[in-house]
Amino acid sequence: MKTINIAGHQETIIERGDYPKEKLQKILKNEVIAILGYGPQGRGQSLNLRDQGFNVIVGLRKGSSWDKAQKEGWVEGKNLFEMEEAAKKGTLIQFLLSDAGQIAFWPKLKECLNEGDCLYFSHGFGIVFSNDTKIIPPKNVDVVLCAPKGSGLTVRTHFLDGRGINASYAVYQDATGRACERVQAVGIAIGSGHLFETTFQKEVHSDLTGERCILMGLIQGAIKAQYEVLRAHGHSPSEAYNESIEEAFQSLYPLIGEKGMDWMYANCSTTAQRGALDWAPRFEKAIKPVIEECYKSVQTGNEARITIEANSKSDYRPKLEKELETMANQEMWQAGKILREFRPERLKPLK
């Protein structure tokens, strides 16, 4: 456990070493960890817990996810159950359905909760926007959150590689006096490298803003804008793709993740450094108002209402698939599909 101070803001970081396996087993020995859902987070977190010998069961509807879970070693009647049965058996219920799925299943889950149970989320959407979701937990259960800062696939692959992914944690309701200990223990047990504290509200506001901006929405828009400018000025698809995408994600961005933006700048040419330093403030000035507008839309609940309304429509899935297909068919991603085959790791070494 370390206390850090960044720009006058002090916070405590929970490290993996603070919860060795013996301590985790002691804290969680009487828990039946019931994971509802087998999407990316449900799958990643459940497999990581199972691999370490914790008492974990999975709750699903019968269908494609059920079949997938069985193929990955979950056994019906032993550690694989229908969702309501798993929820009744669990003492620490990880509610990892999609936001829409949580809204639909909540009336049934609420009836399965017992006094002293721990209701665990990996995203605070359902709780923070309870006026719209109607997810209001009873007062006699702990309500906690552990939100990995990455996809469930990354949670799993980092665990298998012997690494961890950072995660935030929060306590919304402490009915037992053990809520903080429970969420920190499970947060480390699912494979987190370290944990930092937040609140349900801050997690949701930062997460929804991040998804719409730098993590997904902004990055798609920015890449597409540069690619199209280069193509309009006569550059080939290969050149536009490599300059807009391949060089960024295969060469430069990993350097940022490794040691920071300044280190990446220091390892580029002086021409690149000068241009980046000159143009970065202009992009910041242009983009910051858009991000502020996005944050306010998240903060007011407008983004949540848009999401809930869209997900509740019967034709949502076909429309979503059509939108994703439209993106996949954009020239730059079609170029990428072809050009990724030429990455060096796919080629035989020279002799």
Q: Which of 198, 226, 257 is the last residue of a domain?
A: 198
pLDDT for 347 equals 56
Residue 162 has pLDDT above 70, yes or no: yes
pLDDT for 54 equals 96
Mean pLDDT value of segment 263-275: 94
pTM of the predicted model as reported, rounded to 2 decimal places: 0.89
Domain assignment present for residue 351? The answer is no
Q: Which of 143, 168, 198 is the last residue of a domain?
A: 198
Q: Are residue 258 and residue 335 in the same domain, yes or no? A: yes
Domain span at 96: 2-198
Question: Considering its fold, how many domains does the chain have in total?
Answer: 2
Catalytic residues: 123
Biggest CA-to-CA distance, the chain: 68
Q: Are residue 128 and residue 248 in the same domain, yes or no? A: no
Residue 346 has pLDDT above 90, yes or no: no
Q: Are residue 221 and residue 184 in the same domain, yes or no? A: no
Q: Which of 167, 198, 229 is the last residue of a domain?
A: 198
Q: Are residue 177 and residue 79 in the same domain, yes or no? A: yes
Q: Are residue 129 and residue 230 in the same domain, yes or no? A: no
Q: Report the mean per-residue pLDDT for the chain.
A: 94
pLDDT for 19 equals 94
- For tokens 């620490």, the residue is 92
pLDDT for 64 equals 76
Domain assignment present for residue 12? The answer is yes
pLDDT tens digits, 33-65: 999 999 999 999 999 999 999 999 999 998 879
pLDDT for 343 equals 76
Residue 23 has pLDDT above 80, yes or no: yes
Q: Are residue 116 and residue 185 in the same domain, yes or no? A: yes
Q: How far is the C-alpha of 218 from the C-alpha of 287, rounded, in Å?
A: 9
> Where does the pLDDT of residue 349 fall: very low under 50, low under 70, confident under 90, or very high at 90 and above?
low
Domain assignment present for residue 22? The answer is yes
Q: Are residue 95 and residue 128 in the same domain, yes or no? A: yes
> Where does the pLDDT of residue 150 fall: very low under 50, low under 70, confident under 90, or very high at 90 and above?
confident
pLDDT tens digits, 223-263: 999 999 999 999 999 999 999 999 999 999 999 999 999 99
Domain assignment present for residue 204? The answer is no
Q: Are residue 121 and residue 269 in the same domain, yes or no? A: no
Domain assignment present for residue 130? The answer is yes
Provide the CATH number for the domain around residue 194.
3.40.50.720
Domain assignment present for residue 317? The answer is yes
Hey, is 309 helix, strand or coil? helix
Domain assignment present for residue 312? The answer is yes
Q: Are residue 137 and residue 259 in the same domain, yes or no? A: no
Say which amino acid occupies 234. Answer: G
Q: How far is the C-alpha of 21 from the C-alpha of 327, rounded, in Å?
A: 44
Residue 351 has pLDDT above 80, yes or no: no
User: CA of 205: how far to CAs of 10, 300, 301, 307, 321, in Å?
Assistant: 21, 10, 9, 14, 26
pLDDT for 240 equals 96
Residue 17 has pLDDT above 70, yes or no: yes
